[in-house]
C-alpha cells in the first residue's frame, strides 16, 4: 500500500476506510472485514456516532493478534461543539474511550464552524457561535495541547480553505499537517491541492464516490452520478475494473489520501484492490478535463439565518 511520509517519519496509508454513514449494527463487521482484507487506516469522527462499535472491532482484532496498534492509522475529528480551548481534550477523550485507544494517529478539526456545546446539529443561528467569538486560532491551540500530551500523533483540519489554513498557520506553533476535503473528478480543487503541496500538507479526499448514501435532505434532486460519467466508465473497461475503482485509483495516482466508505465486504475488497491500479498520463488528463467545481456536501446546513455563516464564507468562495 502506498503511503505518505509525515515530517516525523510516520507513514499515512494512501487508502483508508471511510466510516461516515456506516450504521451501528453494520460497522463492526465492516471494520473486521476491512482488517482481514488488509486495510490499516480507518477514518472516524465523533459526529458519526459509531465510534464505540469501531472501537469494539479494533479491540477484538488486536486481542486476537490479527493486527497490532502500531500497524494501524486511526483518524478522528473534533466536533463543532468543542472548539473552545479547554473543550478540545474532552471531545478527544470521548473518542479515545469509544475507540478503546490510548492515542490517535491523526486528529482533525472537522469543520471551520463553532457551535453551542449542547447543540449537536444546529437548526437555527442560535446554535452556532461566530468564529470571531471562538476563533480557529484558539481551537488550534487546543489541538496543539492534545498533541503535546501525546493523545494524538498528528493534527490537522477538514473543510478548510487556503485562506483559513493560512490564518491558522500564521500563529501556529505546530503547523497543519493534513487537510481533509471533498475531492473527486467533478470537484478537483487544483489550487487548494497545489497550495497544500507547497505547505507540506497532506490532502485527504472525502466523498470520493459521491456519497450516494447521504440522507435525502443533504442531496440535490439533480445530483450527478460519478459512476455514470462516460470517461470514467470507459477507463474502467480499459482496466477491467469498476467506475468506483477508477475514482479511487485517480485519487491515489494524484497523490492524495482517499477514504471510500463501504460496509459491504465485496465492495470494500474491490476498493482496496483499486489502490494498485495505475492510470496512464492520458487517462489522468482525460479525467482532469471533467472538473465542474461541483460539491455534493455543500455545507448549506451551517448557513443558518441568525448566524454569520454563509456557504460563500464557509469555503471562502464568492
Task: Give yes or no for a contact between 302 and 122, defined as CB atoms under 8 angstroms apart.
Answer: yes
Q: How many CA atoms lie within 13 A of 48 on its CB side?
A: 27
Give the C-alpha separation, 315 to 214, whole Å.
20
* Candidate residues 261, 287, 302, 315; the one interacting with ligand A2P per rule CB under 6 A: 261
For residue 270, state whether it binds ligand A2P (rule: CB under 6 A). Answer: yes
Could you tell me the smallest distance in angstroms from the CB atom of residue 207 to ligand A2P?
4
- Residue 48 bears catalytic tag: yes
Per CB under 6 A, which region of 82-90, 108-116, 136-144, 263-271 contacts ligand A2P? 263-271
Contact 48, 20 (CB under 8 A): yes
DSSP percent split of the chain into helix, strand, coil, nearest 5:
40, 15, 45
Q: Which stretch binds ligand A2P (CB under 6 A): 38-46, 173-181, 216-224, 255-263?
A: 255-263
Q: Which of residues 186-215 bind ligand A2P (CB under 6 A)?
A: 207-213
| 136 or 203: CB nearest ligand A2P | 203
| Closer by beta carbon to ligand A2P, 163 or else 293 | 293
Number of residues engaging ligand A2P in binding (CB under 6 A): 18
Rule CB under 6 A: choose which of 187, 262, 287, 315 binds ligand A2P: 262
Examine residue 271 and tell whether it contacts ligand A2P (CB under 6 A).
Answer: yes
- Choose, from 28, 48, 206, 309, the residue flagged as catalytic: 48
* Residues of this chain, 232-251, that bind ligand A2P according to CB under 6 A: 242, 244
> What gap in Å lies between CA 130 and CA 164, rounded to an integer?
14
Angle at 160 between CA 158 and CA 164, to 5 degrees: 140
Could you give the residue ranges of the DSSP H alpha helices within the chain? 27-37, 51-63, 88-99, 136-148, 162-171, 190-198, 230-239, 243-253, 265-273, 281-288, 311-315
d(CA 253, CA 247): 10
User: Going residue by residue from 10 to 39, which x/- string records binding to ligand A2P, judged by CB under 6 A?
Assistant: --------x---------------------
Give the residues lining the site for ligand A2P (CB under 6 A). 18, 207-213, 242, 244, 260-264, 267, 270-271
Residues designated catalytic: 48
Amino acid at each position: 500500500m502506498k503511503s505518505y511520509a509525515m515530517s516525523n517519519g510516520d507513514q499515512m496509508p494512501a487508502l483508508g476506510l471511510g466510516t461516515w454513514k456506516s450504521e451501528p449494527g453494520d460497522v463492526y463487521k465492516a471494520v473486521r472485514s476491512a482488517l482481514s482484507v488488509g486495510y490499516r487506516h480507518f477514518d472516524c469522527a465523533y459526529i458519526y456516532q459509531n465510534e464505540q462499535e469501531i472501537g469494539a472491532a479494533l479491540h477484538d482484532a488486536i486481542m486476537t493478534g490479527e493486527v497490532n496498534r502500531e500497524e494501524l492509522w486511526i483518524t478522528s475529528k473534533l466536533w463543532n461543539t468543542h472548539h473552545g480551548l479547554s473543550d478540545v481534550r474532552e471531545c478527544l477523550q470521548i473518542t479515545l474511550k469509544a475507540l478503546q485507544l490510548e492515542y490517535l494517529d491523526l486528529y482533525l478539526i472537522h469543520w471551520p464552524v463553532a457551535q453551542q456545546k449542547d447543540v449537536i446539529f444546529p437548526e437555527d443561528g442560535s446554535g452556532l457561535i461566530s468564529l470571531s467569538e471562538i476563533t480557529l486560532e484558539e481551537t488550534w491551540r487546543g489541538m496543539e495541547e492534545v498533541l503535546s500530551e501525546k493523545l494524538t500523533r498528528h493534527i490537522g483540519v477538514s473543510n478548510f480553505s487556503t485562506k483559513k489554513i493560512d490564518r491558522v498557520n500564521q500563529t501556529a506553533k505546530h503547523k497543519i499537517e493534513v487537510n481533509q476535503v471533498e475531492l473527486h473528478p467533478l470537484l478537483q480543487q487544483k489550487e487548494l491541492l497545489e497550495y497544500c503541496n507547497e505547505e507540506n500538507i497532506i490532502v485527504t479526499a472525502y466523498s470520493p464516490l459521491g456519497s450516494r448514501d447521504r440522507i435525502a435532505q443533504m442531496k440535490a434532486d439533480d445530483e450527478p452520478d460519478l459512476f455514470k460519467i462516460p470517461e470514467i466508465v470507459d477507463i474502467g473497461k480499459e482496466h477491467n475494473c469498476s467506475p468506483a475503482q477508477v475514482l479511487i485509483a485517480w485519487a491515489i495516482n494524484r497523490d492524495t489520501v482517499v477514504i471510500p466508505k463501504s460496509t459491504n465486504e465485496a465492495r470494500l475488497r474491490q476498493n482496496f484492490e483499486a489502490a494498485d491500479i495505475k492510470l496512464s498520463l492520458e487517462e489522468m488528463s482525460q479525467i482532469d478535463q471533467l472538473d465542474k467545481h461541483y460539491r455534493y456536501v455543500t455545507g448549506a446546513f451551517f448557513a443558518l439565518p441568525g448566524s454569520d455563516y454563509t456557504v460563500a464564507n464557509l469555503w471562502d468562495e464568492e
